[in-house]
Structure 1
Amino acid sequence: MASIAPTPPMGWNSWDCYGTTVTEAEVLANAEFMAERLLPHGWDTVVVDIAWYDPTARAHGYNADAPLTLDDHGRQLPAPNRFPSAADGQGFAPLAARVHALGLKFGVHLLRGIPRLAVQRGLPVLGTSWTARDAADLDSACAWNPDNHGLDHDHPAAQAYVDSQVAQLASWGVDLLKVDDMLAPYHPREIEALARAIRRSGRDIVLSLSPGTGLSTAHAPHLAAHAQMWRVSDDLWDRWPDVHAQFTRMARWAPHQRPGAWADADMLPLGRIGIRAERGEDRQSRLTADEQRTLLTLWVMSRSPLMMGGDLPTSDPAVIELLATPAVGHVLRCSTGNGELLREPLGDGADAGEVIVWGARSPADDTRYTAVFWTGDRARTCRVPLSSVLGHQAAASAWTARDLWDDDADRLGVAAHGDLLLDVPPHGVRWLALTPSGPPPPPPALR
């Protein structure tokens, strides 16, 4: 529904920095930082990622036969040794209340299915005569996590379990639900069951689906009817090839972006990541400063949700400045007509790369947003015909270009019928707002 997530969500997710191990204190530290430094710029959601119910969670992997914290009906509860406010069956309600008091939204992660431990114990499904064994599909399981069985949606116990699980999350005050192992392979009945349970819960909850390895745009109508966010790739980390691969994916998905239905290019592996994560050791992001700007610009111009993956309080201050750049939240929320306009291979050998141009416009005035990316390993001066960015009629006017990453930079006058001539760093971007600077001059005389 467009009333839920009318613009792409912006927030923080614990996965890239803490993996399965995040604690209540770390969640609150990030929430407080966000409320103070980033909320004015649109960042408003805090998400606790996977395994918050595992008291033995560790970095760099998952635990087989983990002693998951469950209630009497097989539903996950926060592990009290990591989330002390969850003691005595309070769940995430106290933590969610503290996040809400900061003016933020609260999200959690779930894995597709029902806990194996609930099935082993034969726990009853709330409000029914069935047990977890009736709801489970023992032949369906996640390939990379051992916690759950799938659900047997031919048995009504499956929907009853999902309804009870989502109802409990809603009662805690959850605003976003990220559900994993949903799209690769694609599980349409799971998606529909979750959407149905959210409607029945009576709470507006953003449904985010992962991971999107090999996801086709043929699924777009079904996804848009049942979820608000869906990943279009496997996990993305702080490697240039991961960022580069998203150009093609987001060009494919950009025409499908609309209010309440957002293709997600994955979390932002920026700032301090790997603290106790799945991959790599404690580090500041290995992406260069130019690659970080490229990543953020592509995500914004393609209107992907933005979920910061680095620990906010201990990230490089330069990264926080990037996130707080006014154009990031504004263009993400307000632009229209977003899409790739041009992709041209140039050079050869060590000088080879692609010029990739994205465009969008402001619905409020005549402003056009233009991102000129260069994927090569060496800097290049890129010449882009104004008509390729604006169309031949608009290009007949004189325009002024403002650098969106550096608001103090000199404004660049662009002659009518001219070109954009921009110095772009390796793996970098020039991100511009183009505004008309005068009436259209007469067209050039014919010769």
Structure 2
Amino acid sequence: MGWNSWDCYGTTVTEAEVLANARFLHEHLLAHGWDTVVVDIAWYDPTARSHGYNAGAPLTLDAYGRQLPAMNRFPSAAGGLGFGPLAAAVHALGLRFGVHLLRGIPRLAVDQALPVEGTAWTAADAADRTSTCAWNPDNYGLDHDHPAAQAYLDGQVAQLAAWGVDLVKVDDILAPYHDRAIEGWARAIERSGREITLSLSPGTGLSTARTEHLRAHAQMWRVSDDLWDRWPDVHAQFTRLARWAPHQRPGGWADADMLPLGRIGIRAERGDDRQSRLTLDEQRTLLTLWVMARSPLMVGGDLPTSSRATIDLLATPAVGHVLRTSTHGQEALREALPADAGGGDERDGATAGELIVWTARAGDDDAIRYAAIFSTAAAAVRVRVPLTAVVERPTDPGAVRDLWDSRAEIDVDAGALVLDVPAHGVRWLALRLGA
């Protein structure tokens, strides 16, 4: 659970902006489990701009071809200190610090044949010039048949460890699937002697057949392309998460991508400065689905300037508690809503929607079950959900509470939950089992 700079600042985030979000996280959300701050892509590009990448950018590199923070954006990096001072400031707030890196080695280091530290090889020996990223011009891949490749990775991770980095998000590594690059990163982290969470992206088309390999080498892996503040993006994750939920285990988590909530697009890769275009009910749906599926939660909005309503959602106690303690999250029911249950709109093109029910167990109380009743209809609907779809033993009305709104009324009638669900919305419940 944490904050990532991508949705609000894209390639352009500055040290001051990272610290402002870290302080906000510490003051308002750390108590609810939000404990990680991640600087996303291109922190080493002094010419970074919104809405794209710069071919041939004058990347800031050290003598061994490893990325350094651009000092015009991260002034505390002066004097070769790298991210050490910023990581220390984040740690002083009780938070973890993470950075983004692309698979491979900077082309600039290869073109200049910079040495690989501690070896007689150069970056040109380590590189695979035929392996490039389709959407970013900064790097070549590594030639994992040459020992210079692992030596470069070992040195890069040793530098991250020396700075105090707690998480590294490695991009352009899952689509296509670069198994040897994943193994190389895991090996370098182990050799660094520091516990560093390895997060892999993007997961476009990622198959659950990769689960064992992923679990053996990483702690988080994306299961989709970038997700933005559009209902179709959120809706598409229902099917993906239903497929991945049975594979979730401590130490290895399928990641449904960042939460495009709050103020995003300030200087981002996509769209203009805005509060998230998802309605408040769609935001609840997104958060509830991610939690029930036990996806990592990385909010992408600039926290100090995000709406109070969104911050209140993030601070809802059930979000962190259910994410951390629940087990057996799964899709339990999916069926079409009646044709007159809710009209479609221009955002999803549907004339009706689906009733989707997720269930989970409370890992800290064997008598509690969680149930999320979603409607994908574009208008509010009243639904009737048999209790047998969500609990194995009947419960009484007084033993059911709404996790988003403790004052909400819940009707249990003739063995069924009768609920009003908003458009693209959810009712999130905790139920105590009957005797």
Question: TM-score range, shorter-chain basis?
Answer: over 0.9
Matched, 1:44 2:44: no
Matched, 1:301 2:292: yes
Which AA in structure 2 matches 1:432?
L
The SS at the match of 1:47 is: strand
Match 2:109 to one of 102, 105, 118: 118
Which structure 2 residues correspond to residues 31-110 of structure 1 after superposition, within 5 A?
A: 31-110=22-101
Q: Deviations over 1:311-339 (max 9, x none)?
A: 00000011000000000000000001110
340-349 vs 352-361, greater mean Cα deviation: 340-349
Which AA in structure 2 matches 1:59?
S
Unaligned runs of 5+ in 2: 344-350
Contact 1:400 1:414 in 2 (8 A): no
Kindly state the Cα deviation for residue 215 of structure 1 after the two structures are TM-superposed. 0.3
Q: Which residue of structure 2 aligns with residue 286 of structure 1?
A: 277
Q: Deviations over 1:123-157 (max 9, x none)?
A: 00000000000000000000000000000000000
Match 2:137 to one of 146, 169, 181: 146
Contact 1:399 1:434 in 2 (8 A): no
Contact 2:21 2:303 in 1 (8 A): yes
Matched, 1:419 2:416: yes
Q: Which residue of structure 1 aligns with residue 261 of structure 2?
A: 270
Which structure 2 residues correspond to residues 102-251 of structure 1 after superposition, within 5 A?
A: 102-251=93-242
Partner Cα distance (2:327, 2:396) in 1: 21
Which structure 2 residues correspond to residues 19-38 of structure 1 after superposition, within 5 A?
A: 19-38=10-29
Matched, 1:433 2:424: no
- Normalised by the size of structure 1, how large is the TM-score? 0.93
Partner Cα distance (2:313, 2:48) in 1: 32
CA gap 1:427/1:128 in 2 versus in 1, 3 angstroms: same
Q: Which residue of structure 2 aligns with residue 358 of structure 1?
A: 358
Partner Cα distance (1:210, 1:138) in 2: 21
Q: Which residue of structure 2 aligns with residue 16 of structure 1?
A: 7
Kindly state the Cα deviation for residue 414 of structure 1 after the two structures are TM-superposed. 3.3
Partner Cα distance (2:186, 2:407) in 1: 46
Partner Cα distance (2:46, 2:278) in 1: 33
The SS at the match of 1:263 is: strand
Q: CA RMSD in A?
A: 1.2
Which AA in structure 1 matches 2:394?
A
Which structure 2 residues correspond to residues 373-384 of structure 1 after superposition, within 5 A?
A: 373-384=374-385
Matched, 1:404 2:409: no
Partner Cα distance (2:394, 2:269) in 1: 49
The SS at the match of 2:97 is: strand
Kindly state the Cα deviation for residue 53 of structure 1 after the two structures are TM-superposed. 0.2
The SS at the match of 1:165 is: helix
- Normalised by the size of structure 2, how large is the TM-score? 0.96
Contact 2:121 2:148 in 1 (8 A): yes
Partner Cα distance (1:241, 1:205) in 2: 34
The SS at the match of 1:224 is: helix
Kindly state the Cα deviation for residue 401 of structure 1 after the two structures are TM-superposed. 1.2
Partner Cα distance (2:72, 2:328) in 1: 48
Which AA in structure 2 matches 1:414?
V
Kindly state the Cα deviation for residue 300 of structure 1 after the two structures are TM-superposed. 0.4
Contact 1:255 1:339 in 2 (8 A): yes
Which AA in structure 2 matches 1:423?
D
Partner Cα distance (1:322, 1:169) in 2: 33
Partner Cα distance (1:348, 1:234) in 2: 31
Report percent identity of matched pairs.
Answer: 76
Kindly state the Cα deviation for residue 398 of structure 1 after the two structures are TM-superposed. 6.8
Contact 1:399 1:413 in 2 (8 A): no
Give every structure 1 segment of 4 or more consecutive aligned residues whose post-TM-superposition deviation is greater than 3 Å.
396-399, 412-415
Partner Cα distance (1:151, 1:77) in 2: 19
Partner Cα distance (2:323, 2:100) in 1: 24
Which AA in structure 1 matches 2:427?
R
Partner Cα distance (2:93, 2:390) in 1: 41
Partner Cα distance (2:338, 2:73) in 1: 53
Matched, 1:367 2:365: no
Partner Cα distance (2:84, 2:253) in 1: 28
